[in-house]
Amino acid sequence: MRRMPVIIAHYTLRTGYQQEVQNLIRSLMVLELEFDVEPIESLGSWRANSNYSIWLIEKKLEEYPDRSILKVDADAVFRERPELFTQDNFDCDFAARWQDFSYRKNELLGGTLYFANNNNAREIVQRWKRLQIARPRQRNPDLLDRIINQMKDKIKIENLPPEYTTIFDTMRFVQHPVIEHFQASRRFRKIVDAIGKD
């Protein structure tokens, strides 16, 4: 069997995320999963803090050169061990969930992102970073989706089951989530932006 990826996340100090992330950490400890959760100082806005995930992924791929990386949002909770990533037939450079909603079709959900630690995955991150620097106000999942589409002929991609990126209210059709997301940005985004203006 494959090794479980290192689970990574970041949260902004002195915001609601500092408390929110404790639910993630507790769930990872209960399931005895290896994780690396990093606090950061606010970078001036909710968007800038969110975009830091690209630099976090890049850094952790370097810090764990022989391990794949699973990035989750700070508001995630693991309900079960994500055994999908240990199966021998799970063989890809990148995996995420593309989900249809009534308001948008085939949306890449940025809450759970898998990166194999290989040259293709590192190229994805490098391209994503360059595009995000050029377009700092654009949603980073949308930019990532653009990069994946540009590279789709040269990389292996997996669409994760909905259980691995379950949004707690808009994906109620999922009966047994593995990784559940609680959309903390709805509660904290304006507060974090206001703090950044102080």
Per-residue pLDDT at 15: 85
97 closest CA partner among 122, 70, 119: 70
CA torsion sign, 66 to 54 to 9 to 80?
negative
Per-residue pLDDT at 61: 98
112 closest CA partner among 161, 84, 73: 73
Cβ–Cβ under 8 Å, residues 99 and 162: yes
pTM, to two decimals: 0.92
Determine phi and psi for 102, rounding to 5 degrees: -65, -30
Of all helices (H) and strands (E), which one includes residue 181? strand 179-181
3-state secondary structure (DSSP) of residue 109: strand
**The tokens of 148 are what?**
């994946």
**The tokens of 100 are what?**
């249809």
Cβ–Cβ under 8 Å, residues 80 and 93: no
Per-residue pLDDT at 198: 46
Mean pLDDT for each 10-residue chunk of the chain (198 residues)? 94 88 97 97 88 96 97 96 96 95 86 97 97 91 95 97 87 89 62 51
Cβ–Cβ under 8 Å, residues 156 and 119: no
Taking the C-alpha atoms of residue 141 and residue 4, their distance in angstroms, rounded to an integer, is: 24
**Pair type for strands 69-72 and 35-40:** unpaired
Half-sphere exposure of 8 (CA within 13 A, CB side): 24
Per-residue pLDDT at 194: 55
Can you count the helices (H) and strands (E) in the chain?
5, 9
| CB neighbours of residue 86 within 10 Å | 13
Q: Can you list the domains of the chain with their CATH numbers?
A: 6-197 (3.90.550.10)
Taking the C-alpha atoms of residue 166 and residue 97, their distance in angstroms, rounded to an integer, is: 9
